[in-house]
Amino acid sequence: MRDAEKAKLKARIEELESENLEAKSVTLRQEHAELLERIIKLEQAWVERESKKNRKFQTRCIQIAKEILHEEPIIEYRPPFLNGLELDAFFQKYRIALEVQGAQHRFHSTSWYKDVKKLEDIVNRDRQKRCMCQDNGIFLIEPKTFSLTSQKRFRKDKPEYDFPPDDSGRFFPKYASRFTKRHADALRVSFEPVDKYEVIPDVKVTVPEKYLLPKVNHNILNDEEFNVENLELEDDRVRTFADKLHDVIKNSGVDTGTSESTTDTLVNDLLLHVVNFDTWPFKVRIEPPLKLITPNESVSAEPEFVINKKKIALIGVEDKHLKNKKIYPLSGFGEWQIAAEMLACGYENIIEDCIDQEIFAFRVISTYVTFYRAEIPVSYWEELSEQLPKVQSIVIKRWPKENGKKTGLNLAEPDGRKAVITDLIKIRQHLLK
């Protein structure tokens, strides 16, 4: 009898425990549902606040641009060449577009996107807008917003360098034009004088003889009585090329502050008409905005001329005339800027395709041309993405070997002119492979 009562009592205890567990389970499910509902409401409220902030920031950016440009923009502009993509505002007169980088650009992190493909789509869409605008002659401005948390985190994560930073707390300058030897040393970039065919590809090419002008030298171009009509040239483009050479020679002796556009126009003519670098599959871009991203800092670069063949293959840096005060030994006669700009071009390339790169460059000081060539391995970018390079390095090869204002190949002399034109065509032929 006692055993029966015990069994009955045990069964009752188990029944009560089961009911208690079920009650607890129901309570927990209710609490979980309530918490989930609160989280969703908080997220919705946060999204609404962020949306209002972004709209306010966007409106303010457009208003500032309107006040500066004195023009009413087209809002939510969808030009045909963007293939359905939209720009926040477009100023027709100046061909300037505004694309405010709000919250949707700030969340470039897989913690915010479970599907990585969605992140890639956003990045690719922004890149497409930049490329399409650039190809259609539109200058795209992209103001960005940053959360207070991001700003605080950025300040805490300042990189440590072996060299002291400047007054702003930066080590690298904001612009490539301010690069010095210590910046190049920190990135383990150096220059090496080499023989010609370590820079210039050894390939056979056909040279446009009409541009060689064997009878035109520095003395003729520098003559006060110079008149291109007296050179007995039959081709109008060749006449223009010769006249631009004369303009550069005439400008080389003036004081700084005088217009320095003559070298620009000469180099432009050389690339577009003499050696055909603006003919498919190549494309010349004038001063494209590029960036070199180092650990927690970025350097802006705008090479005067960039030649693309799907990716950047050749850059041209011209330093106006011989009296330019920036061209002196401590500046490497402009070579430290060239190093920064070659790296910025390499960084632009690596965004599109993560492969080893070969980049050519040339520097023009008045009529003196120097060529450069560098190979940048993927391993260099991998190390730079985490820290300043300690293992990887880059050697930029130089031809002619000497580095100075007048050590390059002289376009004003027949031999130098032939060498420059031939070498550029050889680089073009090499890049076609």
Q: Give one DSSP letter per residue of 204-249, joined into a string.
A: -----GGGT-TT--HHHHT-TT--GGGG----HHHHHHHHHHHHHH
Name all contacts of 192-198 with Cβ < 8 Å and 24+ positions apart: 192/395, 192/396, 192/397, 192/398, 193/397, 193/398, 193/399, 193/400, 193/401, 193/402, 193/403, 194/397, 194/398, 194/399, 194/401, 195/399, 195/401, 196/399, 196/400, 198/373, 198/397, 198/399
**For the segment 364-410, what is each residue's pLDDT rounded down to a tens digit?**
988 899 999 999 999 999 888 888 899 999 999 999 999 988 899 99
125-140 confidence digits (pLDDT tens): 787 888 888 888 888 8
Claim: this prediction has a pTM higher than 0.85: no
Q: Is the pLDDT of residue 431 over 60?
A: yes
Task: Tell me what the mean pLDDT of segment 268-272 comes to.
Answer: 89
Q: Is the pLDDT of residue 163 over 60?
A: no
Q: CA-to-CA distance for 432 and 63, rounded, in angstroms?
A: 46
pLDDT at 107 over 60: no
Percentage of the chain beyond pLDDT 70 is: 80
What integer pLDDT is reported at residue 167 of this predicted model? Answer: 55
**What is d(CA 157, CA 295) in angstroms, rounded to the nearest whole number?**
10
What number is the average pLDDT over the span 306-315? 82
Q: Under a CB-based contact definition with an 8 Å cutoff, are residues 300 and 262 in contact?
A: no
pLDDT for 361 equals 94
The segment with the largest mean pLDDT, out of 3-12, 46-55, 227-236, is: 227-236
Q: Would you list the domain boundaries of the chain?
A: 2-150, 176-431
CATH number of 2-150: 3.40.960
